A and B are shown apart, each in its own frame.
Chain A
Amino acid sequence: MVVKYIRAASLDEADRVLASDKRARILAGGTQLLTSEFRDREFVAVDAGSLLPRGLERTAEGLTRIGAGAVFQDLADSPVPSRILSEAALGMANRNVRNAATVGGNLGAARSCSSLVPALLVLDARVRIHGAAETRPLADWLAAPSGIVTWIEIPASPGLRAAYARWSRTACDLSVLTCAASYRLQDGSLRDVRIACGGLDARSRRFPELERLFEGRPLPGRDEAAAAVAPALKPIDDLRGSAAFKRLRASELVAEALLTAREVSR
């Protein structure tokens, strides 16, 4: 629950509060921080909602920039991001939530059930942190988050193919399992294979052990891909599914993402 509310006048001020008060959390859309799940935790809400950029743009160099304050529905509706990102944004709960939840907030929440993060990871997204000169790889930031993300930047990658697939119990459910894949096709073989999954670990992450299975090889058939992936996955049993089920279901999702990506230039 919110014990104190601070409407930050600037991101510098927000940074200062974050540094000085352990209970401080950046408040953006509120769809995570203000839910009943966090009712018993005391925190200081640093409202940065109006300070975060909301823009979605593509630079002349082909860089896609997503403001951390953009809400999921913006991402779903905009022609700027690639198809995989629009679809991943639509994978977020329902319209009411998408109208409030921000992209930056989703990264900050770092939930394994994010429909978006695996897609960003296979696009090699980088994040711009307020006050920092250089961007950082999103994967690094997720592993050790610090600072306020202002922009998410996706480099131009001509020839990159990318797709994403998710499984949820009902359509508007959280993403129990999400798998995204990207690669280039060179002389009939997969190059620069990236595979990221959510729902298998505490956080969404890249799976180099899966990427190695496919790097430099021709695109496998669906059965072959799923069969190769399954033994490498070690999900845990929980109320959303047994380990055996999740292993099978996630391996099918990886196969689906790999096969769908072939048809989709990003």
Chain B
Amino acid sequence: MTVTFKLNGRPVSWDCPEGESLKAALRRKGIVSVRDGCDGEGSCGLCAVLLDGRTVNSCTLLAAQAEGREIYTVEHFSKDRKLSVVQRALIDAACVQCGYCTPAVVLAVHSLLERSPEPTKQEVKDALSGTLCRCTGYEQFHNAVRIAAKRLKDPGYAEAAAPEFRPDLRHVGKDREKVDAAALARGEKAFVEDRVDSDACHLALLTSPHAHAWIKSIDASAALELPGVVAVLTHENCPDRVYTTAGQGFPEPSPHDQRMFSRKVRHVGDRVAAVLAETPDQARTALKALKVEYEVLKPVFSIAEARTPGAPVVHSGEVRYVSGEAPAGTSTAGDGRDDPVVYQFPLHADPHRNLAASVADGIGDVEKGFAEADVVVERTYKGNRVQCTPMEPHVVYAKVDGGRLVLHASTQVPWHVRRIVSRAVGIPENKVRVIKERVGGGFGAKQDIVLEDVAGYLAWTTGRPVFFRYDREQEFISSRTRHLMEITVKLGAKKDGRLTAVLMKVDADTGPYGQHCLTVPMNAVSKSLPLVLCDNARFEVKSYYTNLTPAGAYQGYGAPKGSFALQTALAELAAELGMDQLDLIERNRVRSGSRIEILRSLGEGRPGAAVTLGECGLGEMIGRGRKAFGWGGAKPATEDPDWKVGRGAVIVQQGSGLPGLDAANAEVRLLADGTVLLLSGGADLGTGLDTVTAKAAAEILGLDMEDVAVISGDTDVTPFDKGAYASSGTYFSGNAAVKAAEDLRAKVLAAASAVLGEPVSDLAIVHRGIVRGRKGEVTLAKLAHMSTQGEHHGDLVGIGGFKTEHAAFPYGAHFAEVAVNVRTGDVKLRRFHAYQDCGTPINPALALGQIYGGILKAVGHSLYEELLYDKDGRCVNPRFLDYKIPTIWEVPEDFHVELVPVADEVGPFGGKSVSEISLNGAAPAISIAIHDAVGVWMREWPFTPERILKALGKI
């Protein structure tokens, strides 16, 4: 049918299929700014358009309904590549992180300012209430709206988005425009979905309806006869290899226990078959034509079940070790029908007893410590499964080009994708190119190779281009989640609060496969225990296979759950001792110059080493929080006596990459006009990493930001980088850029020395792109031009690699104030303050954005989010309608982040990691505050009203 309407001010007449949604029609016609985060549920708002001046979701409108109406998309504001006042304000206020939601925000703010030129905070919340964003924490949107509103009256209006740091440097510590922000704010093509050719085939997965079953037979003959079907892939015709999907350094501390397709399905949503067809509808139709018979097995749904003797075995295949021996007493001989489980090295595992990995170690003698204690508390804490929910689900576009396999990927780990796909497909690494596109949120989920193996294999074997995108439901049930963990903490202390012994027992549920099965739960210990000083400390970590949703990496890794357990237990101990909880923390915490002995036993897959801490900012950070909250004073009164106020405070830490395990590289090329091209291996997920590396190059080479263009995460073009995980971006990839720029600087100075006839020691690069000596000067442009003319020196290219043995810990102190309604169990998070040390903040406003976003995710996990299952292991809330991530309304009224820098001697310009640590405080701080308010300890998160009412004995 023909639909006639006005689009972005111009009349259009489009031929649309009758049932086509407006969103689909717009995208088909090249309006790519309408994004999709919920697959037409109407709950994410990323496909918003202005319809007759109002924001509406274009997925729940038919194109036909646009007849005679007026529609604006963000392309209107981006005409001729300009930026509107609103787009500019969002960039200036550091609101563009992954950028997947930005076009929708632009439209919502334009619409708001039309109806309310000076909007209140409530009006801003209302205007953005329909847009889900998982990156930003929404807080800085208020600044952007204020800036835009003021600029509409006074175009010259400017305000600082964040405090500045390091006055000795030009760019570092100052806010500079995020290098990809303008393109994202304009809604330009940037993501994998924008790279798909018109002849692309579509891949659809048949997934298991059973939690645990053998596939007795698959009959694909009818499906293969259907129109448009290109291929069907099952366990019968896929490569016979096992691998891990974990994008970790090789050899991975995760068992290779997953085949592309297995004869056994291990969770509801596990892969059964893939169909490749010419259209999505053909692929879906073909899925229905596949006939599968299952032999249903008894499943395992909890840690308790998994470790019960005689429990069903999730992985019954042969257990092999590439190096090292099977631990004594473990079972290795397998059931020939099941896939083998291959460990690269021993992880104290026993898969036939569902134990995927374990580790136990410690310092001192905890039994002696407990014997010396005046008070001992022992508590168990439980954290349920939460999902990363990047607004852009997993997506890949794979094709064969020039005899090589090219993957346009939304990934955190381009090089691990290349390695794993090359092995899965059975072709050498030089036949695979991975191009990391802009990533619409990763948060750990995209540290795993979830789609790329099967898409790559089908592209390679059929020669057809393959587009594969999870829908939101698949993202919930077949992507990755944070491990469910049950953590028992036992603490012994003297009357004065001094700890005499600390014991942490972590049991984790890794789900059906073992990606990150050791390192996530171990991280629960390694990022929490070193916060307290105690001569007797021990941990025991066990990770079990079950038949529930796969677990994996999620921002913070295991740390948020370990932090919840240990920090809450410390507060419970303080209550037993009758001490203030912060006084107890102060009595035992690490401080400047502390020797952290426990790190000897906390190496990640290798021996660790004790660390003597340099300067530690915890004292300052706790002090600032105490002051802001009037700690020790009376709590604020509430008007309604049913609402009780409480406060909680915790200290948190993280690492900065994996010292001794990982590496990053970069290259800087000087071009003939004196600008530079920075080739960074780092994977920017919306985090601002490309801006960090660009700043390093600009700072060192005396250039402006616009003189540096960044290309990153392309395995053909840029040098190796371990990927974006373990809080390594700034520290590793940033430092690689520093080293590359320093290398280029040295080469430039050597060349200039020859040109100017002055010794290198007399030369320096000064702004902007000039090498100045005592006598003369020469521009970088001139030097570069000479390199193209066959004069003097050759091409000026700097290369740099970074690895380290140095462990850099960011620290933080988080403070929460809640009000709890004793009648209803409702919790209001009234205040949340985070004082965080990330060393030198390279780009302060972006650093704040990372922290706001991290905290709000953790608030969601603490109060609302939890994957729920029925008795058959089926996830019953795989959608935003019933898995509630925070909207702008859930942001605390007083949400404050303050950077308290303590420079690190190894980090780039003294920088440390910033993002993951911010997830570690909310759960314990809120839990402690709830206790302070109503006297009950919430030991299982999320702290829903129902759980609170149960704790209060009301239901």
Contact = CB atoms under 8 A, between A and B. Distances in A.
Nearest to B942: A169
A241 B946 contact: yes
Contacts of A7: 64, 67
Given A7-B67, A239-B868, A245-B946, A27 B824 contact: no
A11 B21 CA distance: 23
A248 B950 CA distance: 11
A20 interface: no
Chain B, interface size: which category?
Answer: 35 or more
Q: Pick the most buried of A39, A97, A244, A252: most chain B CB atoms within 10 A of its CB.
A: A97
B307 interface: no
Given A31-B57, A170-B864, A222-B823, 18 more contacts: A2-B18, A4-B19, A5-B1, A5-B18, A30-B60, A34-B40, A49-B65, A94-B129, A95-B130, A96-B129, A97-B130, A99-B56, A100-B57, A169-B944, A170-B886, A245-B945, A248-B824, A248-B949
A66 B65 CA distance: 22
Contacts of A5: 1, 18-19, 62, 64
A34 B890 contact: no
Contact of B129 (A2, A95, A169): A95
Contact of B884 (A30, A167, A169): A169
Chain A, interface size: which category?
Answer: 35 or more
Interface of B: 1, 18-19, 21, 38-43, 45, 48, 51, 54-57, 59-62, 64-65, 67, 108, 126-127, 129-131, 823-824, 864, 868, 876-877, 881-882, 884, 886-887, 889-890, 944-946, 949, 954-955
A222 B640 CA distance: 13
B658 to A, nearest CB: 36
B206 to A, nearest CB: 16
Contacts of B884: 169-170, 173
Contacts of A245: 945-946, 949, 955
A240 interface: yes
A31 B955 CA distance: 36
A226 B949 CA distance: 15
- Enumerate the 10 nearest inter-chain pairs by beta-carbon distance, A residue then B residue, closest first: A96-B130, A2-B19, A171-B889, A94-B130, A94-B129, A36-B40, A5-B18, A99-B54, A245-B946, A34-B60
Contacts of A97: 42, 57, 130
Contacts of B131: 96
Contacts, number: 126
Contacts of B127: 95
A245 B946 CA distance: 6
Nearest to A170: B884
11 contacts: A34-B60, A73-B54, A95-B108, A96-B45, A99-B55, A170-B884, A171-B887, A172-B130, A173-B884, A241-B946, A252-B823
A171 B945 CA distance: 14
A42 to B, nearest CB: 9
A96 B62 contact: no
Contact of A96 (B55, B944, B955): B55
Given A95-B126, A170-B890, A37 B41 contact: yes
Q: Pick the most buried of A1, A3, A172, A173: most chain B CB atoms within 10 A of its CB.
A: A172
Contacts of B61: 30, 34, 100
A73 B126 CA distance: 11
A47 interface: yes
Nearest to A243: B955
A3 B62 CA distance: 12
A4 B131 CA distance: 30
Interface string A1-45: 111110100000000000000000001011100111101000001
Contacts of A130: none
Interface in A82-104: 93-97, 99-100
Contacts of A39: 40
Contacts of B65: 27, 30, 47, 49
A160 B62 CA distance: 42
Contacts of A1: 19
Interface in A142-167: 167
Contact of B887 (A29, A36, A172): A172
Contacts of A173: 884
Contact of B877 (A29, A171, A239, A242): A239
Given A5-B64, A30-B61, A47-B64, A35 B129 contact: no
